[in-house]
Amino acid sequence: LFSASRYGGVLQNRGAVAVLRRADGSVQDDRNDLDPGDLGFDSSSSTASPTPLKRMKMQIVEHDVNPLKGAADQQSVAAATACQVRRVVEQQSREQENDMEQHALALICVERSALWSRCYALDTGRTGLLERNAFCDLLSEVCGELSWSAILSRAAPWMGAQEVAYGEFLSTPSVRWFHHGAAAVVTMARASAQAELRLSGLVALFDSTSGLVTPELAREALGQLLPSLRERERHQLATALFGEENSKLSDVLHQLALFADPPDLTEPWMEPALRRLSTLVEKHHGPPPLHSALIRFFRAVAVDGSDLIQPEEFVKGFQNLGAYHCSGDHEVPLLHTGRLYKLFEVIDGNGSGTVSFLELLLAMDNRADRPELPELPALEGALPALLLVHKAALLRMCRDMDPADAGRISVSNFMGLVTALGDVLGRPFAHCERSAIEEELEGSEDLAYSELLGGFQVHAEGGPFKRSGANSRIE
């Protein structure tokens, strides 16, 4: 941690965490276990010169540190900061693993034909099975050096421990492009909660001074939250999410919240405690439904007008509702001040030290099934997989063709880059593949390339892969 009175022009304490990772993405979290060999040094000789840190990379993330109101606050602020840092590291580790899985599965899609031919040649008994270690060696040879054994253990937990049914395995992964259905809404809802969109901002977004949201306003707001949607797609998604009648703002926010994950409750008493607190909110700030009562409770508690609840406001707000007296039995222990602070830390999903309305809604509202959303058309196959694998190179080339740093290039320039990429890789795109992309881009004068190259989805469900589809996400 470091701090300064005026760091970067901002009069605020600041902190940072540096994370060292091995090339395979795992976090080196035990300093006693850090061998010189892990850092790329030759430890066989005391006089050896250090070599570059080829097998390690460092990532630094900066964050705010809660201000000290007095010397007595030092311990609590340090503990809160440590908790925030730990969450950052854990979140980055999950994202790193997920990114590696997506990249590995996309590589398999790109090399599917070559992998199938090599597997068939090795399977001399025509059993459809290969020894697992031999299969991982083949993946390394064809797709590149990755920690394939570890990646497949996470992504394909039902793959055989000794042998792999290679036909089923290779046929399952797919990469989609221009996919803006349910997965995009899930990503948007999660991002909205993590970014702590303020209640007043959500009200302004849906222009709901009357408390009602018309279908037209819902489509407009969805277009601002998901700007890559075209008009037809926006209409389909808005209708599936919000219906064709006027809706209350609380109902609209509830629908969005269904697509974000609730907080990870760390102790068994927390879930029944949240149910009890929800009942208190409904009782004192009703009438139902609960998400409407939560808006009224939130506005009453966030008295400083920040649209974000501080820990003290959270604790005092529920104490005023009678949190202490509604607890103290075998299911829910006494909700004294310390336990209410614990609940606050769990609800504060991004570790910012404040709770937004969406974070509170995710924790306390009665969860229901997500509505079925339309699966909008998407390109699928080896072409999207190839573009995803080389997305970083494409982004660099797009930026080189954008000297004004406007974030946009022409359709013809983008198609030229895609064609050049295929030629350089020795995989020239067929006329039908080019036509499919041009059809998707039809009607656009220029393209927001970062957004365009952010619309990939890697999907692998069933067979040896995760059954729930949890490994599918927008890149």
31, pLDDT greater than 70 = no
Local confidence band at 237 (pLDDT 50, 70, 90 cut-offs): confident
Q: How far is CA 113 from CA 120, 124, 139, 384, in A?
A: 11, 18, 12, 15
- Token duo for residue 358: 């969406």
The closest of 66, 42, 41 to 56, measured between CA atoms, is 41
Local confidence band at 343 (pLDDT 50, 70, 90 cut-offs): very high
Q: What is the pLDDT of residue 457?
A: 80
Rounded Cα gap, residues 469 and 463, in angstroms: 12
Angle at 274 between CA 268 and CA 280, to 5 degrees: 145
Helices (H) and strands (E) in the chain, counts: 20, 12
| Residue that is written with structure tokens 């007595």 in the block | 72
Q: What is the pLDDT of residue 280?
A: 94
**37-89 confidence digits (pLDDT tens):** 444 444 444 444 444 455 566 666 666 666 666 666 677 777 777 777 777 77
Q: What is the pLDDT of residue 88?
A: 72
Q: What is the pTM of this model?
A: 0.57
Contact 426, 399 (CB under 8 A): no
3-state SS string for 322-369 = CCCCCCCCCCCCCCCHHHHHHHHHHHCCCCCCCECHHHHHHHHCCCCC
Give the phi and the psi of residue 228 in degrees, each rounded to 5.
-80, -10
Amino acid identity, position 200: S
Local confidence band at 264 (pLDDT 50, 70, 90 cut-offs): confident
Radius of gyration of the chain (CA): 26
Angle at 307 between CA 306 and CA 311, to 5 degrees: 80
Range name among 98-112, 149-163, 196-210, 447-461 with the lowest pLDDT average:
196-210
The closest of 368, 373, 418 to 397, measured between CA atoms, is 418
Give just the sign of the alpha carbon dihedral 183, 185, 191, 194: negative
199, pLDDT greater than 90 = no
Rounded Cα gap, residues 332 and 169, in angstroms: 46
Contact 311, 341 (CB under 8 A): yes
Give the phi and the psi of residue 8 in degrees, each rounded to 5.
60, 30
Contact 206, 252 (CB under 8 A): yes
**118-129 confidence digits (pLDDT tens):** 999 999 999 999
Which is higher by pLDDT, 470 or 207? 207
217-247 b/e (C-beta count within 10 Å ≥ 16 → b): bbbbbbbebbeebeeebbbbbbebbbeeeeb
Q: What is the pLDDT of residue 286?
A: 86
Rounded Cα gap, residues 222 and 240, in angstroms: 12
Strand partners for 145: none
Bond prior to 289 in cis (omega within 30° of 0): yes
Amino acid identity, position 257: A
Domains plus CATH for the chain? 15-62 (no CATH), 270-364 (1.10.238.10), 379-459 (1.10.238)
